[in-house]
């Protein structure tokens, strides 16, 4: 998004004024309790107090839309988790089958 937020999920109606994003994930940067390390955490949207299960995006604020292969680290993390998870430093399995996941990255 043009405000710096990045969302990952399954997109519908990507040509409309308000595309729909389902199964939404985002990355949250979190500082360790001692304040010496920053950790990236993947979070499934819906765990917030209002429990959203989808997002309608305002198309003019979308910077770019890309698909993610099944071999991508983000696709593997989304597949593996339903809860917040620290991003691992290992590569995804080589035998994973390609799978398209629409994402809405921005910076």
Q: Residue 1: inside a domain, yes or no? A: no
Whether the per-residue pLDDT at 95 is higher than 90: the answer is no
- Parent domain of 82: 7-104
Report the distance separating Cα 44 and Cα 7, nearest Å.
Answer: 10
Q: What are phi and psi of 85, to 5 degrees?
A: -145, 140
pTM: 0.65
- Per the structure, the count of domains in the chain is 1
pLDDT digits (tens, 9 = 90+) for 28-47: 888 888 888 888 888 888 87
Q: Residue 58: inside a domain, yes or no? A: yes
pLDDT digits (tens, 9 = 90+) for 45-92: 887 777 788 899 999 999 999 888 888 888 888 887 754 444 444 444
Q: Residue 2: inside a domain, yes or no? A: no
Q: Residue 52: inside a domain, yes or no? A: yes
Helix (H) or strand (E) holding 36: none
């Amino acid at each position: 998004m043009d405000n710096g937020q990045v969302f990952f999920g399954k997109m519908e109606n990507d040509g409309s004024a308000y595309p729909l994003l389902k199964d939404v994930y985002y990355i949250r940067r979190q500082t360790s309790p001692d304040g010496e390390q920053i950790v990236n955490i993947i979070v499934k949207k819906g765990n917030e107090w209002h429990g959203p299960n989808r997002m309608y995006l305002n198309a003019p604020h979308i910077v770019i839309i890309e698909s993610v292969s099944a071999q991508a680290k983000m696709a593997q993390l989304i597949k593996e988790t339903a809860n917040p998870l620290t991003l691992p430093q290992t590569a995804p399995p080589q035998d994973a089958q390609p799978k398209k996941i629409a994402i809405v990255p921005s910076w």
